[in-house]
Amino acid sequence: MTLNRGFLVPAGLALAGALVIVLLPFWLEDTNEYRFAFVAAFFIAALGLQILTGYAGQISLGHSGFMLIGAYVTTILSVDHGWNDLATIPLAGLVSAVAGFLFGFPALRLRGVYLALATFAIPIALIALAKKYEGLTGGGGGKSLTRVLTGHEAYMTTWPIAGVMFVLAWLILRGRLGRAFRTIRESEIAAVSVGVNLTLTKTLAFGISAGFAGIGGSLYAITIGFVNPDTFLIALSILLLVGVIVGGLGSLVGVIFGALFIEYVPLYAPEILDWVQRPVGLNLDPKAAGAPAVVYGSILLLVLYVAPNGVAGLLRSAIRILRRRLYTSTGTGPPGQVVPKRREA
Amino acid sequence: MTQFVQQVVAGLGDGAIYASLALALVLIYRATHVINFAQGEMGMFSTYIAWSLITNHGWSFWPAFFFTILVSFLGGAAIQQTVIRPLSRAGELTIVMATIALLVILNGLASWIWKPDEKLLLSPFPTGTWSVGDVQVPQQSVFNLLVVLVCVVLLWAFFRFTKMGLALRSSAVNPTASRLLGVRVTWMLAIGWGFAAALSAVAGMLAAPAQFVFSPNFMQVVIIYAFAAAVLGGIESPVGAVVGGLALGVTINLLGTYLPGQITPDMRLPVALAILLAVLIFRPAGLLGRAVVRRV
Amino acid sequence: MPLLELTDVHARYGPVRALHGVSLRVDEGEIVALLGANGAGKTTTLRAISGMVAREGGVVFDGKPLPRSPEGAARLGITHVPEGRGILAELTVRENLQMGAYLRRDRKGVAADLEQAYQELPWLAERSDQQAGTLSGGEQQMLALERALMSRPRLLLLDEPSLGLAPLIVREFFRLVRELNESRGLTVLVVEQNANVALDVSARAYLIEVGRVALEGESAELREHEGVRKSYLGY
């Protein structure tokens, strides 16, 4: 583990973030703590997606399916078998991870676009199965959990786990496996030539990221107290991917911005729309159905054009500009700046 | 046996719709190597335009149909020029995300403009059956199939026999060399997107009556079948897309008829996708696709 | 007045500078060669002319500044056969030839030129419905040349035509080029690593080294030049 300059900034940001999260409950009221618990659940699921897409370079549009698995494992075990709901969380992650591995083996013979299309199938198939086997899952009507949490309880349950998962993700990506992932993202052919076992590594990436999504799903179920197949439609997978992109592909710290985006932008879409249309003089109804989707789709497009490396990329650029200012303010700074590392944890 | 023929024809009618959308996907993929995830929503939006012309402005079906196709062509070209082209130098993932953003925006826009309640678009074709011997052949299915086949043949003829069609194919095959031959490749791409949008509009305007009522999400099931058909046929093969679409329509229909216990309506889609996955494992390039040799 | 004149042309690939001020000229009816080692900047020079790469500096064609886009250059009669031939692999031989005439509006003229191409190279007619990608390297090079001719170019840019081809085929190719130059007055600027063959076919040549013109002159004289002999002709 090297403590070079490139490490201090993201580490600093992570610590600052952790501090904010610890202090936030003192300031927020219960409803908002509740929402923040959802942010934590999405954060974990998005971390998983980041590992798969941002680091190993495989697109998945199916991660809502793995969240579904985690949510149902938790629900079924705690409601039908009397498990303590918190105890189900690791198992939820494990079952989802196994599902991810099992999907990985056949599917990873497919390249790029074929793989993305195959992942499309995951939530569709799982939702249909959940609706079919009603006895187990409560079918289309859904299933309620036994324990209903207050906002504060949800917050205190989800965020410590989110912290643990973040550190876990960081450790995984820091080591050999992480390097293997990054090599695969750059070039599969190069990866093979340095001895990376392509199938095994990609399957591991799928499995690990599915496990994260499963834990996210489990926490989501615990927080909301109710589980229903249609929560996990492809639209949610898309939203997760959007969050990862907006946060910044390849940046673990960026995922928190993605998670905030996923929870709050659809919620505040009417306000955002108002804010945009007032100076322009338009008077569209911001509460109409479909308005939130237009808002967050437009924001996504904007991010893709203006800040393709997401919020994390913007922060990195800002820091780079600041550093340059610090150097040249002394008059004779070093002439050519070293290009900063592209991917920092 | 009569049941069988009936279901095959019905399946061909459904399959024609999948084929039309699948062909649109293949067109864009061949030209730009991008999967346009918004293809279904573009068709949906076009359908709403047609619906609006018919319901709110008193047009009859066929004028609305052709006008919508024209508008969709222009819209598709415009989207390519304004949304996709600026990102052409960014990575593949960015362009895919842009199409996903389009998907989200178009869906939301349709809900916003026309409200998400269920609407009715009546088919211009009779909904009865013809008696051919013992068999009751569903008329709407036959007409849907005919419409799509006409579109496909017209498109084929355009690509095969016209100078612009040749230039379009050339741009898809080797854009750089085409530019050196004087072809304005970016315009060709816009035209390609225009044709794809037109095909999606056809798919939507046939699918809406087939589903009885429609609402903003109505094309999402269709596009999944269309993806499956396109991939099944080999993602770069137009013939494969059409054949794949028709085959998928027939297969799903037959499975639903002969295995009603297993294949409930909810299960149809996962079964289709399971078939797709199975095919791809044994023939990764699809049934009609050419395996791409990767030199190591 | 020269047909093509480059004055102090610079070009770069992103942050990497490839041409550092190249000046050359090509007169109508000439065959001019650009020689040099790998990476010297010969291909980049052609790309700078046809607009495939961004350039700074003066490029004047037929007395007027040349547009910066490939389509624009093509429209003025500059046909660039790129490195690797740029064959439209999935199209047929005939379709490739037809695409050569893309910018022309005279259908009868195009049909007549197609016939002439088939007469010059009968095997083109035999294979005219075959996919161009299935031809051998040498055949593809000939096809690329005939396709270029279909545009009735005022200036033909050939980029490394001998690359990957057997010596016999290379000789045949350049024989055809010389014949076209003599019979039709076709003006050619050819980039070649094979200095021997290039100096044989051309009237004048430029030696490019590290993105600049290091030497220029009549091909016959350059043949005798000691530096050229040692470094590029091998004796």
The pLDDT, as a whole number, for residue A339 is: 41
Do B and A make contact via 3 or more CB pairs under 8 A? The reply is yes
Q: pTM of the prediction?
A: 0.85
Alpha helices for chain B (secondary structure H) = 2-32, 39-57, 61-79, 92-114, 139-161, 163-173, 175-180, 185-210, 219-232, 238-258, 265-282
Burial class (CB in 10 A: 0-12, 13-18, 19+), A56: buried
The pLDDT, as a whole number, for residue A343 is: 42
Distance from CA of B137 to the nearest CA of A (A): 31
ipTM of the complex as predicted: 0.91
Name the strand (E) or helix (H) holding A284: none
The pLDDT, as a whole number, for residue A2 is: 47
CATH architecture for residues B2-282: Orthogonal Bundle (1.10)
Of the given ranges (A80-94, B33-47, B269-283, C124-138), which has the lowest mean pLDDT? Answer: B269-283
Is the pLDDT assigned to residue C167 strictly greater than 60?
Answer: yes
Are C229 and C195 spatial neighbours (Cβ–Cβ below 8 Å)? no
pLDDT confidence tier of residue A86, bands split at 50, 70 and 90: confident
Chain mean pLDDT for chain C = 90
State whether residue B184 sits within 8 Å of chain C by CB.
Answer: yes
Q: Cβ contacts of residue B12 below 8 Å, gap of 6+?
A: B141, B145, B246, B249, B250
Of B237, B21, B36, the C-alpha closest to B144 is: B21
Is the pLDDT assigned to residue B1 strictly greater than 80?
Answer: no
Mean pLDDT of B11-22: 95
Do A and C make contact via 3 or more CB pairs under 8 A? The reply is no
Are B144 and B210 spatial neighbours (Cβ–Cβ below 8 Å)? yes
Does the distance separating the beta carbons of B235 and A304 come in below 8 Å?
no
State whether residue B26 sits within 8 Å of chain A by CB.
Answer: no
Does the distance separating the beta carbons of A107 and B270 come in below 8 Å?
no
pLDDT confidence tier of residue B262, bands split at 50, 70 and 90: low
Is the pLDDT assigned to residue B296 strictly greater than 80?
Answer: no
Per-residue pLDDT of B31-76, as tens digits, reads 888 889 999 999 999 999 999 999 999 999 999 999 999 999 999 9
Q: Is C23 helix (H, G, I), strand (E, B) or coil?
A: strand
The pLDDT, as a whole number, for residue B47 is: 96
Distance from CA of C69 to the nearest CA of B (A): 9
Burial class (CB in 10 A: 0-12, 13-18, 19+), A336: exposed
The pLDDT, as a whole number, for residue A279 is: 75
Instruction: Give residue limits of the domains in chain B.
Output: 2-282
Q: Per CB distance under 8 Å, which residues of C are interface residues toward B?
A: 50, 52, 69-71, 74-75, 79-80, 82, 86-91, 95, 98-100, 102-103, 147, 151
**Span between the terminal Cα atoms of chain C, in Å:** 37
Shortest CB distance from B109 goes to which of A294, A301, A305? A294
Mean pLDDT of A305-310: 86
Is the pLDDT assigned to residue C208 strictly greater than 80?
Answer: yes
Distance from CA of A172 to the nearest CA of B (A): 24
Instruction: Give residue limits of the domains in chain A.
Output: 27-264, 268-332
Q: In B, which residues are within 8 Å of C79 by CB distance?
A: 180-181
State whether residue B178 sits within 8 Å of chain C by CB.
Answer: yes
